[in-house]
Amino acid sequence: MKIIIAMDSFKGSMTSLEAGEAAKAGVLRSLPDAEVFVRPLADGGEGTMESLILALDAVPHEVSVTGPLGVPVTASYAANGTSAVLEMASCAGLTLVPQTQRDPMKTTTRGLGELILAAAGEGCRDFLIGIGGSATNDAGAGMLAAMGVSLLDEDGHPIPDGAAGLCRLARIDCTTMDPILKDCRFRIICDVTNPLCGQNGASHVYGPQKGADPSMCKELDSLLARFAALTGTAMSGHDRPAPSPDTPGAGAAGGLGYAFLSYLDAALLPGIEVVLKETRLEEYLQDADLLLTGEGRLDGQTANGKAPAGAAGLAKKHGVHVIAFAGMLKISEEDAAALRRAGIDEWYAITPPDMPHETAKQPAVARANMAAAAEYRCRQPL
């Protein structure tokens, strides 16, 4: 029997790989002769970059770059040949900025441009970049400046970093971009669909969590609109026109999504789509008998594009039975119908009914519960 295990992370308890290995241990106690493969899984949230690094068998490299507050930080990318995986949050993330210093007028994405160029300088040409959790609202201006794009004021001088610098932006010249980037391909993991500007745009929706009050959100929004207008002018003579600021995902990471679309011809892709492709999960499922999947909480939202549903959908293309495990179940009759439509045939809670939640969340306990649940289910007829 061939069994594929593809678990999402159980937040605070188990990574994707830890959950998968725990389930595998349980399966083999029941079915010692089974052929069991563990594949990492994630849907764009916690664990996504880890899953991609594992899938690509990539090697980490540390680089000192400009942090979101303008002081150096140590960031990293992982590489396998010409492929690189990196997270914007490692060099421009909100967790790098103390609560008392959060100010999206000042924070910059410059470090991300430096990190990309460092990887490109080592031969990387195919980039997978997660852009969740940013501390910035500079429309990617800092990143572009680090890449050689000229962002100039009325006197032809480079503007300062941060969204505040956009107040002085008068002209953009993208012909000065580092030529190495013309040979690079960018796939951006982006699970938000916000436009660049407006009430549903980057500034108004995400500005407050980065330290902006309502007045600043309004100003930031106007600065991003100005950046988009100047981008349109800068690209008017090029083969590829600037994208619309209303493009879904343009407002991701304080407008960083728009910069990638405009200047690097990037594709913005849902995390689950990228992970399923790079882990080659469908290839493993083609002749499988069973898929075990799961996440920390299984409910009606699971069917709406979350990782277990994505894996189940692939399994059903090949007639594979799907069993999901979760730390907690909250499933109505309507939810159950949605889960079955998504391809999940059975679901089980790994946590014993009398076990306190805080105990169940402990990593060692969670792993033991996962192994026990998988063992029990696999002792029953499949």
Instruction: With a cut of 90, say whether residue 22 has pLDDT above it.
Output: yes
Q: Tell me the three state secondary structure of residue 27.
A: helix
74: exposed, middle or buried (Cβ count in 10 Å: 0-12, 13-18, 19+): exposed
pTM of the entire predicted model:
0.86
Asked whether the beta carbons of 323 and 346 are under 8 A apart, the reply is yes
CA distance 144 to 109: 8
Bridge partners, residue 87, by sequence = 130
pLDDT at 11: 86
Other C-beta atoms closer than 10 Å to the C-beta of 359 total 12
CA distance 169 to 20: 50
Query: Which tens digit of pLDDT belongs to each residue from 311-331?
Result: 999 999 999 999 999 999 999
Same fold, 2-41+281-378 and 48-272: no
Domain boundaries, the chain: 2-41+281-378, 48-272
Instruction: With a cut of 80, say whether residue 237 has pLDDT above it.
Output: no
- CATH, domain range 48-272: 3.90.1510.10
Query: Which tens digit of pLDDT belongs to each residue from 343-356?
Result: 999 999 999 999 99
Query: Which tens digit of pLDDT belongs to each residue from 248-299?
Result: 999 999 999 999 999 999 999 998 889 999 999 999 999 999 999 999 999 9
Q: Tell me the mean pLDDT in the region 113-138.
A: 96
CA distance 88 to 111: 9
Asked whether the beta carbons of 76 and 86 are under 8 A apart, the reply is yes
The CATH architecture that domain 2-41+281-378 belongs to is 3-Layer(aba) Sandwich (3.40)
Q: Which amino acid is at 71?
A: V
Q: Which amino acid is at 304?
A: N
Comparing 55 with 104, the larger pLDDT belongs to 104
